[in-house]
Structure 1
């Protein structure tokens, strides 16, 4: 691959993952279409993107661990409930091609952004809820279903996890984004990448530039989310969700 193409991949990965680490998802909005545009078939592009996305999680994890605030209880729920869903979804995507699902997902993603816009105080303060009784179980079921989407679809599912943690469990945006980046970025995407790598093919020649851009972008985006705080994260989250939703709809059309 030409050096110019490697530089393009690095810059795209840096930009996409910086915004993703700031808002809690959406790197695939930019990164995956570029891989396809540069000539990779969809399945190979998706597997390659998933591997690079793990670097996003690692970069963000390094920064968030320095800051603290990752709650072990939610980390455990996200692993136990989400990982089985990811494995189910990754096995489904290579067998099913249904653009109506992408259009529906796009509309739902836009709905997430509008929901946040219409609730000005959502996610600005920690408001603990659904922490006992059937609350964690239902919360885990929601994470399992989002895990299926994460394993089977291309972009935006981290945004679902972020809003689910905010809306159901009452986390503020900063805590929710930190958990999403660490658990979804490293573990969910890692499981999806491994499954897709076994079932499909990974384009290894492009990964050095993608991983480096994702690693640096993840760290810088996590740093910005910590420095700027909940109100900035909320605004960027709303913009990214609407853009991801539009991208899914236009791609599905």
Structure 2
């Protein structure tokens, strides 16, 4: 019971922060699964399943708010899902220390880039929505999809920043797309593929699903009420903390 309560509250906090920042639930959720004794492949698959509930909770709120353009949403799905499937086939073949190091450096870089760009994502500036630039954006989403399927946590943050940087969205709109499309669909595809390869630890799945769905809904609710500046600060905090956490784990594994 103590383990389940700890798992619930850690997962709830992680998913509230993730729904505010546009990713990063694995910063807290995956480490506690490993700490409580799950093997890495099982912990990763179980975390991915819980992330689907995060996407579901956020989706309910964002659908009510009408946050999405569904034609653009289909582009994100069509670009990213093939990459996710490729990534899940690669993840169990790559040494853990290399995946942790690469993800730590990339994730920290996202936060630093955002910190050094004060006006980034504060107001929508629609761009790269047609022609070659649109296809280049789709390739970027495909590559991020591979990261999403391959790596352990925080890859939703890459989608958020890509939507802000390349397509000119503000942070609030970009987080909405990430939570619905990455949280629900990309992570759903990754969860199915990983679960078939590694299996799940079913006794903890119901607690994680409830905490993730509730955290996703609450985070999306508060995110819609707040301005882009607060969401930007949450994004930067989560990315840098995720990067530091992953670097620490890299040193331990190495």
Question: The TM-score by the shorter chain falls in which range?
Answer: over 0.9
Q: Within 5 Å, which residues of 2 pair with 1:157-176?
A: 157-176=155-174
Alignment of 1:94-173 (within 5 A): 94-173=92-171
Could you report, residue by residue, the CA deviation over 1:65-88 in whole angstroms, capped at 9, with x for unpaired residues?
111121112211111110000000
Q: How far apart are the structure 2 equivalents of 1:109 and 1:7? A: 29
- Partner residue in 2 for 1:226: 224
**Cα root mean square deviation, aligned:** 0.9
The answer as to 2:85 corresponding to 1:84 is no
Give me the whole-angstrom Cα distance separating, in 2, the residues matched to 1:58 and 1:48.
16
Q: Give the CA deviation at 1:98.
A: 4.5
What does residue 63 of structure 2 align with?
Answer: 65
The residue aligned with 1:21 is: 19
Match of residue 237 from structure 1: 235
The CA deviation at 1:100 is 2.9
Structure 2 CA distance for aligned equivalents of residues 26 and 80 of structure 1: 23
Q: Deviations over 1:71-126 (max 9, x none)?
A: 11221111111000000000111122142342132112111111111111110100
Deviation at 1:250, TM superposition (A): 1.5
Instruction: Summarize deviations over 1:100-155 as a string: whole Å, max 9, x none.
Output: 34213211211111111111111010001111111111111001110111001111
Poorly superposed stretches of 4+, deviation over 3 Å: none
**2-structure distance, mates of 1:248, 1:188:** 22
What TM-score comes out, normalization by structure 1 length?
0.97
Q: Which runs of 5+ in 1 are unaligned?
A: none
From 238, 244, 249, the equivalent of 1:246 is 244
Q: Which moved more, 1:219-228 or 1:71-80?
A: 71-80
- TM-score with structure 2 setting the length: 0.97
Deviations 1:179-224 (A, max 9, x none): 0000000000000000001111111110111111001100000011
Stretches of structure 2 that go unaligned for 5 or more consecutive residues are none
Asked whether the 8 Å contact 2:99–2:151 carries over to 1, the reply is no
Counterpart Cα distance in 2 of 1:227 and 1:20: 16
What is the alpha-carbon distance in structure 1 between the residues aligned to residue 61 and residue 144 of structure 2? 25
Aligned partners of 2:103 and 2:151 also within 8 Å:
no
